[in-house]
Chains A and B, each alone.
Chain A
Amino acid sequence: MLGKLSLSALPLDQPIPLIAGAAVVVVLLGVIGWIVFAGHLPYLWKEWITSVDHKRIGVMYVVLGLVMLIRGFSDVVLMRSQQAVAYKSPGFLPPEHYDQIFTAHGTIMIFFGAMPFIIGLMNFVVPLQLGVRDVAFPTLNSVSFWLTATGALLVNMSLVIGEFARTGWWPSPPLSEVTYSPGVGVDYYLWAIQIAGIGTLMSGINLTTTILKMRAPGMSYLRMPMFCWTALASNLLIVAAFPILTATLAMLTLDRYLGFHFFTDERGGNSMMFMNLFWAWGHPEVYILALPGYGVFSEVISTFSSKPLFAYRSMVAATMAILVLSFMVWLHHFFTMGPGGDVNGIFGVTSMIIAVPTGVKVFDWMFTMYGGRVRFTTPMLWSLGFVVTFVVGGATGVLLAVPPADFVLHNSLFLVAHFHNVMVSAVIFAGFAGYGYWFPKAFGFKLHEGWGKAAFWFSVTGFVAVFAPLYVVGLLGMTRRMQHYDVPEWRPWVLAASAGVIVMAIGVVCQIVQLVVSIRRREELRDVTGDPWDGRSLEWATASPPPAFNFAVLPEVHGEEAYWGVKQAARDQRRLREEPSYEAVEMPLNSATGVICAFFATLVGFAMIWHIWWMAGLGLLGAFATFVIFAWRDRVEYEIPAETVARFDRANRATRAEALASLRRRAA
């Protein structure tokens, strides 16, 4: 009846996961109970859970990403404290538990921390920057989000029910085959990633279509803001690369469930094929995450330097070059696993070449700042911190691209330090820069600067303090994923890295305090005009927070910096544009399709993990029925009357006229 599921799946005999799991369950139930009893459920259901508004979905993606980043960080605290005490001793985490933690850390940080954070920013910002009212397929967008949330839920369920994979975040066969991993850990990994992966793929299709087909009148490709270009490249990569991951994991699933032999050791299976295919997705994935990050930095650096982006077209060319090159380097993840010198040589060279367009971008950012009036706000600090740390990470990357060097450094902590160095700075720093930069647009008030700067300095200091020692100890020969060690030379560096985690943790606390303080002081941090940073692209042309329809009248675009041109004209002529004639706006209706699909997807995933076949069938049937009901719906849109649109826009125009007048008074 319940497949492999029984009471023994609960960690009743292991105190650490039991207490951690119980605490999470209690907190979760408490939050849900508070929502229900305080009467917030109808609001949440109508305004957020069933919303198909790209802004709301974007915010929910970012919230999911932030929560999961903290979850992934708690794994870091466990791993670093284990290594701090496990010198010539077993430490406090047994190996089978330690292995689950580093696997969960990688899986969560990539798939459920970084991906939702970046996709959330793209979801929120891209339609606003393009000057349109929503993404191409609003309900599909909601389905994508909730499927991603399903994946995150399944990974977290493994904390309490059963176990997670012990294979590392790429579940390499034959270790991940049923012979060597008979438990449900790898199955949790597979189904969580597959379900979230469907969501990601649909999100990629959605945003690609939006960018290619739905720009404001006059916005040709070469007038799109840089963030839209990087989002386009990133989503094209999602569309091209995620099917590889899905197919590869499907083959591993067939191996595990139906006794196939794609990647097994016997009967013609080839485990290196898994490596090859996984990294054919894995390296583009790096750029799926990093490219939108580059876009965020381009926007932030240009805005806070009060200058147009330097060499915009070279930045576009560099982005598209990275898009293609990212599919030509994947072998460098397994230089040491068997290819000959000719293959290694060519992939080494392509890996070095991809540093060229990235270098072009770094110079473009520096020249954007050069001669500008740079305002050192929190998002700008994150960008500057990125440029410095990213160049270090990039340089060690070029070093690792030399195959002979890689033979020395492969799977050492030097490699771990390298990819954290580039990924954290290009993705997490970008995330926080974008979070601070677009927060006032999303909620109508700015984040507190003092706490933001504190968070930045503690995070960056902690980040350097963690990974600089790991470079050294990697050169001293320490490999990754060690549960305990007994080399005295490593000890001080490992302790230094653990101390760095404490500093980073203070940064995390500062981030949370910043949010709480900003919400409490939101009246004094209020963004009245909708343009708090003296911005240059179209998202700043509407109110903060934007109305459901984004723009009262779709903006006409006449140049590279659509909003800057309008603003300069207003300043020169000392008045706003003529009031447009307002028309009623049609917007898509809310839909519960996404969350209901995700409910059934959770059933399917959980049932497949525990071999509860009837429940899997039920879930599939339910998901299909949901789709059919959605496909046969009668009403698609609702109308916002012209008076409402006009009232909203006039209110915003009044604040802008006031801002213009005060600017003139100050100048006089």
Chain B
Amino acid sequence: MSDTVSQDEGGDQRRHADTAPGDEFGQEDIGAGLRGYSIGLGLAALLTVASFVVLRTQLVWAPAIPLALIVFAIAQMGVHLVFFLHITTGPDNTNNVMALAFGVLIVVLVVGGSVWIMGNMNRNMMPMGPTAPMESGMPGH
């Protein structure tokens, strides 16, 4: 939604101090922007091709292939963040970096925690097939 809210000069100053992902950069010329996106596209394509190549050839030691794929996937995310979402370390990007860090933290906690908890439960709980006697009653509830 694009309701514009009246902003005073202070608001305008802050707007320069904080760019949103996808904001147009007025100062940059089109050539620089195009170059950035092209490099990004190239790197993204390279990483995609590389993961297929690794899988099909003997370049990497076979048991290490999943690890290599994870590395490529994380690098892919990095390329997207830097070249397409324009996440930088500059002061105009503090909110974006903080939001990204918070998001990553929550995803790691919830996904990692869920995997850990559910795995632990699976190891702990007796399988309750229809034939298993229910001597200890229903868990929980």
Contact = CB atoms under 8 A, between A and B. Distances in A.
Contacts of A331: 113, 117
Nearest to B108: A327
A339 B1 contact: no
Interface string B43-76: 0000000000000000000000000000000000
B11 A214 contact: yes
Contacts, number: 92
Nearest to B95: A212
Given A139-B1, A217-B8, A336-B140, 17 more contacts: A136-B5, A172-B141, A175-B141, A214-B7, A216-B10, A240-B106, A272-B118, A276-B117, A280-B113, A328-B109, A334-B140, A337-B140, A338-B140, A339-B117, A339-B124, A588-B5, A630-B1
B3 A138 contact: yes
A569 interface: no
Contacts of A139: 1, 3
B18 to A, nearest CB: 7
Given A236-B102, A244-B110, A338-B139, A218 B10 contact: yes
B10 A338 contact: no
A324 interface: yes
A240 B139 contact: no
Contacts of A214: 5, 7, 11
Contact of B1 (A140, A212, A236, A336): A140
Which of the listed residues B3, B18, B141 has the most CB atoms from chain A within 10 Å of its own CB? B3
Nearest to B123: A340
A208 B134 CA distance: 50
B10 A217 contact: yes
Contact of A277 (B109, B114, B139): B114
Nearest to A244: B110
A327 B102 contact: no
A113 B103 CA distance: 29
Contact of A134 (B5, B110, B117): B5
Interface residues of A, number: 49
B24 interface: no
Interface in B104-141: 105-106, 109-110, 113-114, 116-118, 120-121, 123-125, 139-141
Contacts of B125: 338
A539 B102 CA distance: 30
B7 to A, nearest CB: 8
A324 B105 contact: yes
Nearest to B106: A240
Given A244-B110, A585-B6, A213 B18 contact: yes
Contact of B117 (A132, A324, A343, A637): A343
A249 to B, nearest CB: 16
Given A139-B1, A172-B141, A244-B110, A343 B118 contact: no
Nearest to A637: B4
A133 B102 CA distance: 28
B9 interface: yes
B122 to A, nearest CB: 9
B131 to A, nearest CB: 15
A134 B4 CA distance: 10
B14 interface: yes
A339 B95 contact: no
Interface of A: 52, 132-134, 136-140, 172, 175, 212-214, 216-218, 236, 240, 244, 270, 272-273, 275-277, 280, 324, 327-328, 330-331, 334, 336-340, 342-343, 411, 554, 585-588, 630, 636-637
A280 B110 contact: yes
Nearest to B7: A214
Contact of B124 (A340, A585, A588): A340
A636 B3 contact: yes
A554 B5 CA distance: 13
B120 A339 contact: yes
Contacts of A280: 110, 113-114
Nearest to B140: A337
Contact of A213 (B14, B105, B109): B14
A327 B114 contact: no
Nearest to A210: B5
A217 B12 CA distance: 10
Contacts of B103: 240
A137 B2 CA distance: 7
Contacts of A140: 1, 3
A587 B109 contact: no
B116 to A, nearest CB: 7
B44 to A, nearest CB: 26
B118 A138 contact: no
Contacts of B14: 213
B16 to A, nearest CB: 12
Contacts of A587: 6
Given A334-B140, A336-B140, A636 B4 contact: yes
B71 to A, nearest CB: 27
Nearest to A175: B141
A339 B141 contact: no
Given A138-B3, A327-B110, A411 B141 contact: yes
Which of the listed residues B110, B114, B116, B124 has the most CB atoms from chain A within 10 Å of its own CB? B110
Contacts of B6: 133, 585-587, 637
A476 to B, nearest CB: 20
